[in-house]
């Protein structure tokens, strides 16, 4: 009898403690997510190897028909193991094995409305999303607010970039994810504009580890979200776009049909930066939304506009750049803004034929406008409506164009995310690869849209032309991207500017501070399936031939990406493999020569090509034999670089 009572009491107690409280463990057991209902409010926390990464952080949302922010009751949970392999042609690594544990928790409001939270935990990544059920005849809702938060311990420091105020910047085109990062700031430090931070956000949780917060799977069915301003307690929550973005057009709050779901929010965790550099979580939890209509070519491109600017948008200069691409063996050439009036359609058709005769494809620039900014560059009003877009793309296909670059979006509202998706989907129908500029962060798009070829969403190389400060901080910024922006998606930075002065004549304008080998290293550090390089015709003979030979051989698609070493803002060492060939690239943003001992198992016992800076900062190429244990000491000049390849 006594035993029965104890069993019953235990059962009641267990029920009381465990109702809605459960843990989700990674397959290797190191990453642990604890989910709990506290007074009807849903929370989760995250531990890595037993150390706290996120303290109790809120979950839930308020919609215009239901309130999932309080009074929730646990209904049930279901579990399954996920093992999936997929190919990922355009970013980071070509073959991915995704192994995760999924737990779906079901909760209901006192009115019986149902919200599910889906957690997927792989060895270094957490991805979670909400799904809402239809309730009676209510088949739609607007999400007024998400409670979703990330509460870091107060000793955490942040590496974040602010969201810009709507309708500021050049011709009122912001926000466009072109703000700087501030490294190692205490949590709760106010951001530059006071309206939060754009994804991804990097957090250093003291000695407990590193965490990268982002989101993925955002297409036309939700807005792009951001992180709120942080509190002094370390809490950052999901925030929606500002009302004023895109000239105030469209709702800042996302709407979904019921049943429906939110995008995935992701947290990548490690005790060093390796899992963050190598993560594929942005792609693991999304699906291709359509099949590629052709086998997209992607590849290397030259681009007159970067160094020669608007004055080069004429027939003769474009022919010169087609010749430059042909000379380098590149697949593409990009003709930038104003071509419609300065070259004209007929002459562009002639250029396309000339390029094709040299085995080079052309890409053409477009303004996304529309009525949401004052950006004056033409062609305008070709990409913003379905009718105009399809007509334009039919012409692009007829002249054999390979891709488009669409600029000046200026917001993250659902309406704008739909425009990105519509452009991508229509472009695929016409066999066109798409690059976005003046734009938002891509959120899983490399896998969702097979013709997506990169987004700017970074303080890109054009700034090296615009102002000296960008040159003075070039090395610093370059050491951030592999750990933050470029970690979650392709980045159309436009790297490799080999002119010493950033103007057409290489004799005026801003001054490059970094070395030539630094510039070469950025093609390994920065990744995008189409790379628009800042090489100019004079560069073919400016340097010893091994410099340009390196640029002729470098690929843009990689089979593997590996973290070797680095600290955001100080230095970065990243390895990428293409076929059998590994490239290891290192850069130094600090003021002194850096001596780094690294282990490069891919080169153990092999003779490799070593590109480095001489003491006078000029480029040199040596052949060295790496010892059998793969240990190498790199000596990197300030604002310089080193590359090893075999
Ligand atoms: Ca830009």
Whether the per-residue pLDDT at 370 is higher than 90: the answer is: no
> 125-132 and 114-121: which strand pairing?
antiparallel
pLDDT of residue 552: 98
pLDDT of residue 19: 66
Confidence of residue 17 (pLDDT cuts 50, 70, 90): very low
Bridge partners of residue 332, in order along the sequence: 301, 361
pLDDT of residue 507: 97
pLDDT of residue 2: 46
Compute the distance from residue 460 Cα to the ligand 1 centre, in Å.
Answer: 6
What are the distances in angstroms from CA 437 to CA 334, 409, 459, 540, 578? 13, 8, 11, 28, 27
Compute the distance from residue 458 Cα to the ligand 1 centre, in Å.
Answer: 8
Token pair, residue 231, equals 């509190």
Token pair, residue 618, equals 């000029």
Confidence of residue 409 (pLDDT cuts 50, 70, 90): very high
Whether the per-residue pLDDT at 236 is higher than 60: the answer is: yes
Contact 177, 458 (CB under 8 A): yes
Compute the distance from residue 373 Cα to the ligand 1 centre, in Å.
Answer: 14
Its pTM surpasses 0.85: yes
Compute the distance from residue 351 Cα to the ligand 1 centre, in Å.
Answer: 26
pLDDT of residue 49: 98
Contact 37, 19 (CB under 8 A): yes
pLDDT of residue 8: 47
Compute the distance from residue 445 Cα to the ligand 1 centre, in Å.
Answer: 19
Compute the distance from residue 456 Cα to the ligand 1 centre, in Å.
Answer: 7
Confidence of residue 345 (pLDDT cuts 50, 70, 90): very high
What are the distances in angstroms from CA 641 to CA 497, 613, 625, 627? 14, 7, 19, 21
Contact 367, 401 (CB under 8 A): no
Closest CA to 288 of 446, 469, 514, 516: 446
pLDDT of residue 297: 81
Compute the distance from residue 168 Cα to the ligand 1 centre, in Å.
Answer: 13
Cα separation, 230 vs 99, in Å, equals 32
Residues in Cβ contact with 512 at an 8 Å cutoff, skipping those fewer than 6 apart = 464, 471, 474, 497, 499, 500, 501, 502, 519
Compute the distance from residue 464 Cα to the ligand 1 centre, in Å.
Answer: 11
Taking only the tens place, the pLDDT of each residue in 440-467 is 999 999 999 999 999 999 999 999 999 9
Compute the distance from residue 284 Cα to the ligand 1 centre, in Å.
Answer: 29
Compute the distance from residue 301 Cα to the ligand 1 centre, in Å.
Answer: 18
**Looking at residues 540-561, what average pLDDT do you find?**
98
Closest CA to 575 of 559, 562, 588, 558: 562
* Mean pLDDT, rounded, of the chain: 96
Compute the distance from residue 98 Cα to the ligand 1 centre, in Å.
Answer: 34
Token pair, residue 552, equals 């002729």
Cα separation, 152 vs 230, in Å, equals 10
Confidence of residue 61 (pLDDT cuts 50, 70, 90): very high
Compute the distance from residue 484 Cα to the ligand 1 centre, in Å.
Answer: 18
Put residue 485 in one of left, alpha, beta given phi > 0 → left and psi -120 to 50 → alpha: alpha
Compute the distance from residue 503 Cα to the ligand 1 centre, in Å.
Answer: 18
Element (H, E) at 608: strand 607-613
Radius of gyration (C-alpha) of the chain in whole angstroms: 25
**Looking at residues 476-486, what average pLDDT do you find?**
98
pLDDT of residue 14: 43
Burial class for 56, CB neighbours closer than 10 Å (0-12, 13-18, 19+):
middle
* Residue 76 burial (CB count, 10 A): 10
Bridge partners of residue 48, in order along the sequence: 31, 51
Q: Which residue has the tokens 């529309």?
A: 370
Token pair, residue 386, equals 């379905």
Compute the distance from residue 602 Cα to the ligand 1 centre, in Å.
Answer: 37
Compute the distance from residue 435 Cα to the ligand 1 centre, in Å.
Answer: 12
Whether the per-residue pLDDT at 13 is higher than 90: the answer is: no
> 61-63 and 140-146: which strand pairing?
antiparallel
Compute the distance from residue 494 Cα to the ligand 1 centre, in Å.
Answer: 10
List domains and CATH numbers for the chain.
2-284 (2.70.98.10), 299-457 (3.20.20.70), 459-487+509-525+558-646 (2.60.40.1180)
Contact 378, 340 (CB under 8 A): yes
Put residue 449 in one of left, alpha, beta given phi > 0 → left and psi -120 to 50 → alpha: beta
Bridge partners of residue 610, in order along the sequence: 622, 644
Closest CA to 214 of 493, 443, 458: 443
Whether the per-residue pLDDT at 123 is higher than 60: the answer is: yes
Three-class DSSP labels, 304-352: HHHHHCHHHCCHHHHHHHHHHHHHHCCCEEEECCCHHHHCCHHHHHHHH
Cα separation, 116 vs 102, in Å, equals 12
Token pair, residue 567, equals 């600290």
**Phi, then psi, of 543 in degrees rounded to 5:** -130, 170
Compute the distance from residue 218 Cα to the ligand 1 centre, in Å.
Answer: 22
Token pair, residue 130, equals 């909400």
Closest CA to 224 of 240, 212, 205, 209: 240
Q: Please, where are the H alpha helices in 360-413?
A: 386-398
Compute the distance from residue 452 Cα to the ligand 1 centre, in Å.
Answer: 18
Taking only the tens place, the pLDDT of each residue in 177-200 is 999 999 999 999 999 999 999 999
Cα separation, 192 vs 176, in Å, equals 15
């Amino acid at each position: 009898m006594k035993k029965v009572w104890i069993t019953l009491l235990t059962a009641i107690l267990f029920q009381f403690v465990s109702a809605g409280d459960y843990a989700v463990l990674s397959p290797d057991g190191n990453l642990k997510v604890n989910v709990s209902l506290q007074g009807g409010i849903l929370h989760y926390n995250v531990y890595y190897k037993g150390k706290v990464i996120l303290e109790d952080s809120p979950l839930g949302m308020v919609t215009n028909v239901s309130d999932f922010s309080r009074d929730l009751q646990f209904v049930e949970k279901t579990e399954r193991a996920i093992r999936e392999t997929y190919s990922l042609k355009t970013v980071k690594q070509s073959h991915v094995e995704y192994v995760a544990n999924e737990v779906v928790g079901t909760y209901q409001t006192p009115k019986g409305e149902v919200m599910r939270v889906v957690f997927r935990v792989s060895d270094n990544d957490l991805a979670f999303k909400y799904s809402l059920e239809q309730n009676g005849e209510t088949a739609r809702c607007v999400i007024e607010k998400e409670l979703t938060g990330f509460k870091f311990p107060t000793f955490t420091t942040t590496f974040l970039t602010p969201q810009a105020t709507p309708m500021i910047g050049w011709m009122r085109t912001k926000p466009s994810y072109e703000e700087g990062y501030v490294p190692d700031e205490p949590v709760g430090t106010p951001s530059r504009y006071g309206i939060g931070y754009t994804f991804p956000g990097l957090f250093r949780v003291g000695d407990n580890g590193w965490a990268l917060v982002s989101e993925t799977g955002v297409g036309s069915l939700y807005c792009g979200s951001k992180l709120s301003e942080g509190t002094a307690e370390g809490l950052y929550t999901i925030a929606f776009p500002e009302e004023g973005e895109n000239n105030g057009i469209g709702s800042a709050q996302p709407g979904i049909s019921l049943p429906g779901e939110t995008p995935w929010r992701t947290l990548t965790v490690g005790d060093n930066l390796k899992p963050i550099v190598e993560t594929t979580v942005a792609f693991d939890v999304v699906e291709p939304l359509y099949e590629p209509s052709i086998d997209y070519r992607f590849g290397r491109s030259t681009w007159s506009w970067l160094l020669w600017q608007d004055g080069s948008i004429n027939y003769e200069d474009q022919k010169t750049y087609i010749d430059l691409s042909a000379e380098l063996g590149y697949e593409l050439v990009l003709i930038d803004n104003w071509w419609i009036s300065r070259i004209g359609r007929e002459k562009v058709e002639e250029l396309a034929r000339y390029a094709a005769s040299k085995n080079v494809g052309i890409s053409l620039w477009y303004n996304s406008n529309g009525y949401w900014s004052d950006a004056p560059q033409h062609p305008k009003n070709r990409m913003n409506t379905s009718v105009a877009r399809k007509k334009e793309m039919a012409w692009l296909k007829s002249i054999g164009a390979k891709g488009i670059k669409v600029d000046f979006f200026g917001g993250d509202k659902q309406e704008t995310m739909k425009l990105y998706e519509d452009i991508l989907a229509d472009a695929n129908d016409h066999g066109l690869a798409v690059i976005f500029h003046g734009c938002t962060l891509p959120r899983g798009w490399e896998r969702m849209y097979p013709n997506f070829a990169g987004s700017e969403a970074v303080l890109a190389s054009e700034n090296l032309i615009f102002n000296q400060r960008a040159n003075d901080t070039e090395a610093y910024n370059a050491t951030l991207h592999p750990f933050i922006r470029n970690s979650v998606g392709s980045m159309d930075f436009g790297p490799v500017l080999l002119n010493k002065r950033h103007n057409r004549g290489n004799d005026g304008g801003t001054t490059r501070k970094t070395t030539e080998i630094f510039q070469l290293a950025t093609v390994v550090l920065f990744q995008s399936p189409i790379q628009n390089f800042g090489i100019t015709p004079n560069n073919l003979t400016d340097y010893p031939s091994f410099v340009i030979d390196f640029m002729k051989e470098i690929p843009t698609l990689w089979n593997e990406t590996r973290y070797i070493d680095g600290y955001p803002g100080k230095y970065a060492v990243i390895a990428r493999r293409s076929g059998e060939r590994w490239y290891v690239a290192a850069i130094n943003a600090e003021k002194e020569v850096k001596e780094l001992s690294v282990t490069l198992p891919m080169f153990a016992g092999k003779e490799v090509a070593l590109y480095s800076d001489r003491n006078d900062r000029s480029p040199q190429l040596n052949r060295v034999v790496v010892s059998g244990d793969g240990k190498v000491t790199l000596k990197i000049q300030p604002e310089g670089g080193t590359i090893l390849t075999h």
